[in-house]
Amino acid sequence: MSVVTRFAPSPTGYLHIGGARTALFNWLYARHHGGTFLLRIEDTDRARSTQAAVDAIIDGLSWLGLTWDGDAVSQFERRERHAEVAHAMLAEGKAYRCYCSPAELETMREEQKAAGLPMRYDGRWRDRDASEAPAGVAPVIRLKAPREGETVLQDKVQGEVRVQNSQLDDMVLLRADGTPTYMLSVVVDDQDMGVTQVIRGDDHLTNTFRQLQIYQAMGWTPPDFAHIPLIHGPDGAKLSKRHGALGAEAYRDLGYLPEALRNYLLRLGWGHGDDEIISTEDAIAWFNLEGIGRSPSRMDYAKLDNLNGHYIRLADDDRLVGLISPRLVTALGRDLGDAERDVLRRAMPGLKQRAKTLVELAAGAQFYVTARPLPLDEKATQLLSADARAQLAVIAGRLKNAPDWTAATLEGIVRAYAEEAGLKLGKVAQPLRAALSGSTVSPPIFEVAEVLGRDETLARIGDVAGGV
C-alpha cells in the first residue's frame, strides 16, 4: 500500500513552529517511502478561520520547502460529505438524535461537578424514542459509543495506549444546525483521502480514541497513528509567546534559512546517531518513526543560530546577495545598483564566515554599499586620532602605486610601512579598518580593500585623512 500522510492545520493564525515540525515529519515520511504528502486546511471553525491565516500557512510551508502533492483541501467545503456519514450511522443505529437543550446540558454538568464526577454527557437520549422529543428543539446527532471494554491504540511513538470506553461519552457528530464537528470531519477526510499514517502532536492523543470509535462504527480500517511530543521552551514550559518567535514567518524575518530551520526542527525530537547537521537528502533517506523520542523537546536558540551560521557559509553567494538586498534597501532607503550588487557578491565569501543570521549578514555588509563619507561609529572615531589619520595619508600614497590590487599585495605594502615606522601591523591595520568600514569590526581588512577597489578605498581613506 502506498504511504499517504497529511498536514492538517486550522487557519486561525500563523504557521506555528510546532506545526511546522509536524508538517516536516509528515513530509519526510512520505518522501522517504515514495508516497504522497497532502495538505488539508481544517477550516470548519468559521468564526476563527480566516483567509489571511490560510495564506500565512501556505506561505510558511512554501518558504520551508515542504511542498505538498495536489491541491490543498478545504475541510469546510466537504461538510456535506461529513453530514452524509453521520446520517449513515444514524440509519444503521450507530448514532442517535439527542434533544437536550443547552440549559439541560449545563444543569447536567453542574450536577456532575457538584458530585465530583467527570463532566460528560450521560446518554439520556441514547435509547429514547423520537416520539418523546420536545417540540421546537433541533436535535444534535451523537455517536452511540461502546460502553463496555476498552479502546486500544498501537501508537508508533507512544506505544500501546488504552482507554476504558466508560470514560468516553457519546460525542456530537452533527450540531443542531446540521454542521459537522471536528471529530467527525477529521475521520471522514482521512478515510476519503486515503491517509495511511497520521503523524501529529500528542495533544491530539485523547482525540484519537474518540476518532477510533467512528472508524469502528463505520467499519473502516484506521490509519497508523504516531503522536509526537510537543516542543517546549528553554525553561521546559510549553512553548509560548514569552519564549520568543512562534510562527515560521517570524524565523524568516529573523534571518534564518529554510534549510537550517528544517535541519533544526528535524533534530528537535528525532535523532540519527550523533548526526547534527543533516542535509535534506539524508533526512529523506534516514527518516523513520523509530527515531522520534517520547519526551518533549526544548528550543535551544543558540544551537539554532550556530546551525544557521553553518548553512549560511554553505549557501551560494548570489543567493545570499539576493536575500540580504531587501534588508539593505530598507536600511539605506534606496535601491542598490548593479555595481553595488557586484561588490556584495565579491565580498560575500568574507562576510558569510562570521554571520549567524541574514540580519547579521546584512548588517555586516552594509558598509560596502554605504555612500561616502562613511559614518564612523564611536569606537572607529576614537581610533582615528590625529596620528592615525597622518599615517593613513602616508599609506594611501603608497597604496595608490600598488602594482596590482590584491589583498596580498596591499597587505605587503602596509606591513612594509609598519616595519619602517616601528609599529605592529595591528596599529596600522585597525585605523585602516575604521576608515574603510566605519567600524572596528569587519572581514579581513585587506580583503575589504580588494573588494572595494582602488578608487573607493583611496577615497574612503581620503575622507578621514584630509585628502590623498
pLDDT band per the 50, 70, 90 thresholds, residue 237: confident
Q: Where are the beta strands (DSSP E) in 171-270?
A: 172-174, 197-201, 224-228, 231-232
Residue 249 CB-density burial (10 A; 0-12 exposed, 13-18 middle, 19+ buried): middle
Single pTM value for the model: 0.91
Q: Which residues contact 386 (CB under 8 A, 6 or more apart)?
A: none
Is 427 within any annotated ligand binding site? Answer: no
- Is pLDDT at 145 greater than 50 in this prediction? yes
Last residue of a domain, one of 371, 393, 411: 371
**pLDDT, tens only, 314-341:** 999 999 999 999 999 999 999 999 999 9
Total number of domains in the chain? 4
CATH code where residue 184 lies: 3.40.50.620
208 and 98 within one domain: yes
Give the whole-angstrom CA distance, residue 170 versus residue 350: 65
201 and 123 within one domain: yes
106 and 214 within one domain: yes
390 and 310 within one domain: no
pLDDT band per the 50, 70, 90 thresholds, residue 131: confident
CATH code where residue 447 lies: 1.10.10.350
245 and 221 within one domain: no
238 and 196 within one domain: no
Write out the catalytic residue numbers: 241
Mean pLDDT of the chain: 93
169 and 122 within one domain: yes
User: What residues pair up with 155 in beta bridges, in sequence order?
Assistant: 159
Express as a percent the part of the chain with pLDDT over 90: 83
Q: Which pLDDT belongs to residue 468?
A: 42
Q: Which residues contact 124 (CB under 8 A, 6 or more apart)?
A: 98, 100
Q: φ and ψ at 297, to 5 degrees? A: -100, 155
65 and 185 within one domain: no
Q: Tell me which residue range forms the domain holding 422.
A: 378-465
Calculate the alpha carbon distances from 113 to 110, 116, 118, 236, 394 in Å: 5, 5, 7, 32, 88
111 and 220 within one domain: yes
Q: Which residue has the cell 561609529?
A: 377
pLDDT band per the 50, 70, 90 thresholds, residue 244: low
264 and 224 within one domain: no
